[in-house]
Structure 1
């Protein structure tokens, strides 16, 4: 969360009062004075003090293994949502899913209260890799691998960025593979295979940036480990916007 928003929320300051705290050099993160009001801080990674007073707040991070049939939304009038998987004690207002998976797609979804993190992970310039396990209804070949590596062209002329297709098991009427890509076009994986004349019959996201399912059962969820939060630190801190001060934050 932006440091100015945390201060306003926790200290109930006016905007003018909050700016004065920065101007006087009274805001510190991990012992280092911060003047950048847009710096993104996280309760798990940063210690925030204002005029020597420790400011406490709590960001939430959950890794969910979404089942097929559930939608990636906070509310839906027809289908169950990923938030229906949560025990009431683990749910809190302000949680949202970073990105979406189709209703019939399984796999990894990051749920968090940290809005800036989602923006960073999904921004096209960040090129965050996503890995999917795929089953299609035909034999995949080396021609398909080359087509993915070149950049699939959809029907209509839209071209995708190069992606990596790794063949696993290939039979005449069914094949399994892994797809790695860093884009997020609508129904992209399914459309890529359709452009090659194959239909996806199973799709599961198994990795999103540094995050991996690692044996999490379908329908299950867990909090992020401290090591995973450290891997997300560049995105949590906001990349270039924090570059002038992040080197001092350890």
Structure 2
């Protein structure tokens, strides 16, 4: 949550009073004077003080194991949305998905109402990793691994950053490959287009991780989990 918004809501300050609080050094985060009014904070991982008064936030963070067939949207007339996967009590106002997964893609999706955090996690300069596992319709080769490492070029000429492609299993009988892919960007339909550029098609795609957060090993499509304090602490570098 933005620090100035938190102070305004908690202390009902005017803009002039807000400025005075910061200039006089009365606003501290973890014991350090804070001058940045739009600083993103969460009281689960920050000690937020204004004078002698401690302030508390109430942000929501859910790690959803998105099922295939569910759309990443607030509402849809024809399909179930990611928010339909939540219990009504957990559908906080302003909750949104950090990034999108295609309707036929399953796996890791972060839902939160902390706008600044989502913005930073998606910002290209942050180079947040995304890890996927996929089934490919042909045999993936060492040549493909090299192409991914060098930076795939889409059929339209778009250049991708280097990516780490691993072969997990080869099914020679059915001419299928099972792979793990780590990328550091988030272009539209990126994983599918990367393999298409190699003359191959993604049959199934599942995201396992984003940045420092991973789906629990026992997670099943449709499950969701509130972030623990330990998980939220891993995201602290993305609170600016």
TM range (shorter): over 0.9
CA contact (8 A) 1:128 1:209 kept: yes
Q: Which residue of 1 aligns with 2:199?
A: 197
Taking the aligned partners of 2:86 and 2:46, their CA distance within structure 1 comes to 27
Matched, 1:48 2:48: yes
Matched, 1:59 2:59: yes
Structure 2: 5+ residue stretches without partners: none
Taking the aligned partners of 1:5 and 1:101, their CA distance within structure 2 comes to 30
Matched, 1:234 2:237: yes
TM-score (norm 2): 0.95
Runs of 4+ in 1 over 6 A off after TM superposition: none
Q: Which residue of 1 aligns with 2:118?
A: 118
Structure 1: 5+ residue stretches without partners: 239-250
Deviates more, 1:92-101 or 1:42-51: 42-51
1:17-166 to structure 2, matched below 5 A, reads 17-166=17-166
Taking the aligned partners of 1:100 and 1:28, their CA distance within structure 2 comes to 35
Aligned-residue Cα RMSD (Å) equals 1.2
Name the SS for the 1:7 alignment partner: helix
Matched, 1:183 2:185: yes
Taking the aligned partners of 1:14 and 1:179, their CA distance within structure 2 comes to 50
Q: Deviations over 1:17-62 (max 9, x none)?
A: 2111112222122333222212221121112222212222211111
Taking the aligned partners of 1:155 and 1:96, their CA distance within structure 2 comes to 32
Q: Which residue of 2 aligns with 1:247?
A: none
CA contact (8 A) 2:43 2:55 kept: no
CA contact (8 A) 1:137 1:199 kept: yes
1:164-175 to structure 2, matched below 5 A, reads 164-172=164-172, 173-175=175-177
Taking the aligned partners of 1:47 and 1:218, their CA distance within structure 2 comes to 35
Q: Deviations over 1:124-155 (max 9, x none)?
A: 11111100001011111111111111111111
Taking the aligned partners of 2:137 and 2:32, their CA distance within structure 1 comes to 57
Name the SS for the 1:101 alignment partner: coil
CA contact (8 A) 1:206 1:212 kept: yes
Q: Which residue of 1 aligns with 2:3?
A: 3
